[in-house]
Every structure is written in structure tokens, then in C-alpha cells.
Structure 1
Amino acid sequence: MRMGAEKTVELNEFECKLLHILQYDFPLAPRPYKEIADRLQVTEETVLARVKQLFAKGLIRRLGASINSRQVGYSSVLVALKVASNYIPDVARVVNSFPGVTHNYLREGEYNMWFTAIAPDQDSLDTILNTIGSTCGVEAMIRLPAKRVFKVSVKFPLVAGCNYDRP
């Protein structure tokens, strides 16, 4: 499995199955890791220890629910910033300080920093974007709200023959 351009990480069959369950079939239960352990025929402690290892290796960055923000009334936007090159680290810190920023990328071209932001309502989103827009080094901002969503998730098969419903 590739992790960025700099390194390749090998996963064993257990790790693939575990990651598959964590991504696509996480149990909503009082002891979800116990249920996962039962499915994988190991102990709950084994599952918890491996999850911690996968976090430490950087293979898991976040473990939590993903909601359809539009269906619950949240506002979101893709934003392109034109940032002076000597201010990129400072602007990135400001952008990344907002919990509603889900992605932030440095790119080639005039508009060199692109991010997505989400907030409970348009006023909150505007406040975030106005703060970012007034940050030293931000020369211009383009707000690109979605007109239509074509794809909202990416699913990578981790185990040969597994579908996304059950490992």
C-alpha cells in the first residue's frame, strides 16, 4: 500500500481486514472493538493495540464518523488562495487552525493554496473565510461553492474479494 510519494508500507492480512472494518463497517455498539475482535477471532486488546500502532505509523489519521454535511444543513466551500511564497507556512497554520478545514493543499500556479472548509451555517463559514482572507500574505481568495456533488467518498479495497459491506 502506498503512503504518499515517499514510502511504501506493507500491511499484513490482519491489518488489511482491520482497516477494512474500521473504514466501512465500524460497529455502532457499546464495545465496538470487542465486536471487531470477535469478527477477526482475536482479543479486544489485540485490536486496540494494533489500532494504536496504525495511528503511530500514520496509517490512521482520524477515526470518527463522516456525515453528509449538506443533509444536516452545514455550509461548505472549496477555496483557492493566492499566497505570497514567503507567507505560505504562516497562512497554512491559520487555515489549518480551523476545525472545519478538512483538506489543505499547496499547488503550483497563481492560486497556490487550496482547501475545503465546512461550518454549521453560512455566517460561520463567512467568518472563517474572512479571518483567513485577512491573514498577512493572502493576496486574493476565490470561493468555489459546489453546484452539484458527483462523488463524496473514495473506497480502496484492502482485502481481495471484499465488498464494502462486509469484509
Structure 2
Amino acid sequence: MDKQLESALSSTDRKVLTIIQSGFPIAPRPYEVIGEQVGITEAEALATVRSLKERRIIRRLGANFNSKGLGWRSTLCAAKVPAEQIESFVAEVNSHTGVTHNYLRDHDFNIWFTFIGPNWETVVETLAAITEKTGIEVLNLPATELYKIKVDFNLTEND
């Protein structure tokens, strides 16, 4: 683990992160379940997750689903965005609910994002709308092969 991040995380933080990264409880009171597993109260578990989000250690907390299995389509996208337009371009991209990731890269194609829609037509239409609204062409790079790599980190090994 990164030493700076490690020093920013308490033992409780690490235990909660280890549980929720792939084993978030599907229960009426998930933070109560997390609290029981960690040895803290439900309120403390919720406060821990809120703190991790506020500190931007957790960027997103939500479900992942098999979009292809549900008949949805996804694609990787890239764009060459001038520095003075990055903020407005990213705001437009992120305004679409189908955007699942959005990254700034040190490359000619400096903005990369993934987009998912209920069908291919919606994907293509949405990317065209982003281009029309921003004046920046979006490169559509649908996968030809799908590789899923699942990585879990045991953040409690030092406890």
C-alpha cells in the first residue's frame, strides 16, 4: 500500500474498505452488518464510509452489473480536449448517466471515458450529442474482446 495513503487510514478505515470493495452487504441495514464485522456501531460504520468519501479515498460507491448480460452496450471513448475546454468538456461528459469512468491522461487524447447505454443506437447518439454540444470529436472504441480482471486488496494485513 502507498505509504502516504497507509498513514492516512486508520485500522477501522482499512477494515471497512476491505469489506466493502467486493463484499458490500445486501441487507436492509448494510452499515449495521459492516459494523458488526468490524466491531463498531452502525453509525460509526456509516461515518467511516462518509469520511472516506469526503477524503476522496472512496470515489464511487455503487453496484456493478453485467451490462452485456442485460443487453446493454458499452464503449471506451477518447477525445483531444484543449486545456481551456477540459472543465466544460468533462462537465458535459459527466452529465450523461451512462458515463461510468472519466480520466485525464497525459497524451494527445487527454480525456478517456467509458459509456454504457441500453442499445448501440443510444451509445452512438449520445456520443454524437457530446461532440455537437462541445465541438470536440469523441473517438468511439468499442471492445472487440472483453477481459475482466477482479482485484481485491486486503488492507488489514498490518493489523
TM-score (normalizing by structure 2): 0.85
Identity of aligned residues (%): 39
Paired position in structure 2 for 1:128: 126
How far is the alpha carbon of 1:2 from its aligned partner?
4.3
Of 57, 70, 75, which residue of structure 2 is paired with 1:72? 70
Paired position in structure 2 for 1:13: 11
Paired position in structure 1 for 2:99: 101
Instruction: Measure, in 2, the Cα distance between the counterparts of 1:115 and 1:129.
Output: 11
Of 141, 145, 150, which residue of structure 1 is paired with 2:138? 141
Q: Provide the aligned length of Structure 1 versus Structure 2.
A: 157
Q: Is the 8 A contact 1:88 1:137 kept in 2?
A: no
**In the alignment, residue 29 of structure 2 is paired with which amino acid?**
R
Kindly provide the CA deviation profile for residues 33-63 of structure 1, in whole angstroms up to 9, marking residues without a partner as x.
1122222222212212222222221222222
The answer on 1:154 being equivalent to 2:154 is no
Change in CA separation of 1:156 and 1:39 when aligned onto 2, cut-off 3 Å: closer
How far is the alpha carbon of 1:116 from its aligned partner?
0.9
Paired position in structure 2 for 1:63: 61
Instruction: Measure, in 1, the Cα distance between the counterparts of 2:109 and 2:99.
Output: 18
**In the alignment, residue 143 of structure 1 is paired with which amino acid?**
N
Change in CA separation of 1:43 and 1:89 when aligned onto 2, cut-off 3 Å: closer
Any stretches of 5+ residues in structure 2 without a counterpart? none
Kindly provide the CA deviation profile for residues 4-46 of structure 1, in whole angstroms up to 9, marking residues without a partner as x.
xxx6452122211111111121111112111222222222122
Q: Is the 8 A contact 1:87 1:137 kept in 2?
A: no
Any stretches of 5+ residues in structure 1 without a counterpart? 162-167
How far is the alpha carbon of 1:68 from its aligned partner?
1.6
Instruction: Report the RMSD for the aligned CA atoms in angstroms.
Output: 2.2
Instruction: Give every structure 1 segment of 4 or more consecutive aligned residues whose post-TM-superposition deviation is greater than 3 Å.
Output: none
Instruction: Measure, in 2, the Cα distance between the counterparts of 1:83 and 1:142.
Output: 12
Q: Considering fraction of residues, name the structure with more helix.
A: 2
Q: Considering fraction of residues, name the structure with more strand.
A: 1
Kindly provide the CA deviation profile for residues 85-119 of structure 1, in whole angstroms up to 9, marking residues without a partner as x.
43222212111111211222233343232211111
Of 86, 89, 104, which residue of structure 2 is paired with 1:88? 86
